Amino acid sequence: MSETESTEQDLLVREGDIAGDYLERLLDIADVDGDIDMDVEGDRAVVAIVGDGLDALVGPNGATLDALQELTRLAVIQQTGVRSRLMLDIGGWRAKRKAELTEVGTRAAKRVLESGEPVSLAAMTPFERKIVHDAVALVEGVVSESEGVEPERRVVVLPDGS
């Protein structure tokens, strides 16, 4: 590992530590039981709150989770002065959602291969669209693109070469 890679890794570990401390305080204030797991995946710190009864922290369609992630990123930025790409998961919600969206992307790609017709998916967040794009990219003969304007931006899967 080069010195630059080591420094980047150290910053990500520090981000995870700051986020973990912030979330611990938040859980204490909210009187919610949960354990904090920290990891580094690629170029981002990943922090997870694990435990039972965390649905209120996820909220409808992950809305509360997204808000908590942004607040946690702000806490990290405040202490490091560096923009954070930290990813927060609560109760495995993002992991389950990733598996679901991977399946959605794969199924859409197969439909396009069978029919030759484009498939337009429901509006999704940037996080969700990236997962679908990644899944579609693994299927030969199709491509995907995003179209529309937030919050109605969606993935469209097309035959390759159209």
pLDDT digits (tens, 9 = 90+) for 37-73: 999 988 899 999 999 999 999 999 899 999 999 999 9
Residue 92 DSSP symbol: T
Is-contact 142 107, C-beta < 8 A? no
% of the chain exceeding 90 in pLDDT: 83
**Terminal CA-to-CA distance of the chain, rounded, Å?**
42
Is-contact 52 75, C-beta < 8 A? no
* Euclidean distance between CA atoms 36 and 27, whole angstroms: 10
Q: What is the pLDDT of residue 42?
A: 86
For the chain, list the domains and their CATH numbers: 3-91 (3.30.300.20), 96-159 (3.30.1370.50)
Pick the residue with more confidence: 113 or 3? 113
